[in-house]
Every structure is written in structure tokens, then in C-alpha cells.
Amino acid sequence: MTPPTTDVFDPAKRSAVMARVRSKDTTPEKALRRLLTSLGARYRLHRKDLPGSPDVVMPGRRLAFFVHGCFWHGHDCKRGARVPQANRDYWLAKVARNKARDARNEAALIDAGWRVETIWECQMKDEAALVERLKLTLSRGRVLIKGRRCIA
């Protein structure tokens, strides 16, 4: 006998809903791109040749941005700390794998001489604070990479 579920959808509908969850060009990602553009920043999207295929990349600055959903990547905010009641073990393992993969990708980028910024979905709500953070990040300029001249 199947245990009772707290899901409001039947399995077929739940599958359809989950299939529509996007991995790129999400609303938070588009909002970040809009803010970067308003600050005059030039960028590239989803560089597959870099670890983790960062959402936004500024090659000249050696700067990579990841835009993470709080639930999917296990942020320590209210939404990220929520664990579904249905299929709890699966979701705990899934989020743990996502966090481990994120850490590996960030470490690989840093080892390759990149700066990495992670923007969380919940941080998008305070646009003024995010703009100030982006200005500070962009003002840091380029980084020194294996003997190249540093432009700060």
C-alpha cells in the first residue's frame, strides 16, 4: 500500500510541473542581467567550457556569476531550508548533491583564476542592495592571473 502523500497533484501532473522548471533564462537570472546591463557591464551567457557553465560570465574581468534558486541549491534562508514532506529522503539527497556540485564548480573556477559570485534568489528581492553589491564587485576590476598585469 502506498503511504499518504501531501502533494496536491497526482504523479502525472507533478511530473509535468517539474518538467517545466527551467535551468537557464530564469526570472532571477534575467533580472541580474538587466541590472548588469544598466550598470554598463558586458557579459556572455552560459559558457559551457567553464566548470558549472556559469549563468553570466565576464571574460575580461575573469568574473563568473551563478544565480541559484534557494530551494534547489539549499540556501540557508526560509525558502531554502524548506524540505518537502513527500519523498523527503530523495529531496534531501538531491539538494546535498547540488550543493556538493556547486562547491566543486566554484573551486575549479577559482583554481583557474576566476572570481565567482553566487547570487541567491532571495537576494534578488532587495534590488538596491544587489545593485550596490554588483557595483562593488565590478569596481574590483581584473585579477592578476599567472604573471599577467593586474588592472585594478
The CA-CA-CA angle for residues 66, 68, 73, to 5°, reads: 125
76: its cell numbers: 540557508
pLDDT of residue 23: 66
Q: Reduce the secondary structure of 55-102 to three states and give it as a string.
A: CEEEHHHCEEEEEECHHHHCCCCHHHHCCCCCCHHHHHHHHHHHHHHH
Q: Where are the domains of the chain?
A: 21-135
Per-residue pLDDT tens, the chain, 152 aa: give them: 555 556 777 878 766 766 666 667 789 999 999 999 999 999 999 999 999 999 999 999 999 999 999 998 999 999 888 888 888 999 999 999 999 999 999 999 999 999 999 999 999 999 999 999 999 999 986 544 444 444 43
CATH code, residues 21-135: 3.40.960.10
In 3D, which of 34, 32, 64, 60 has the Cα closest to residue 46? 64
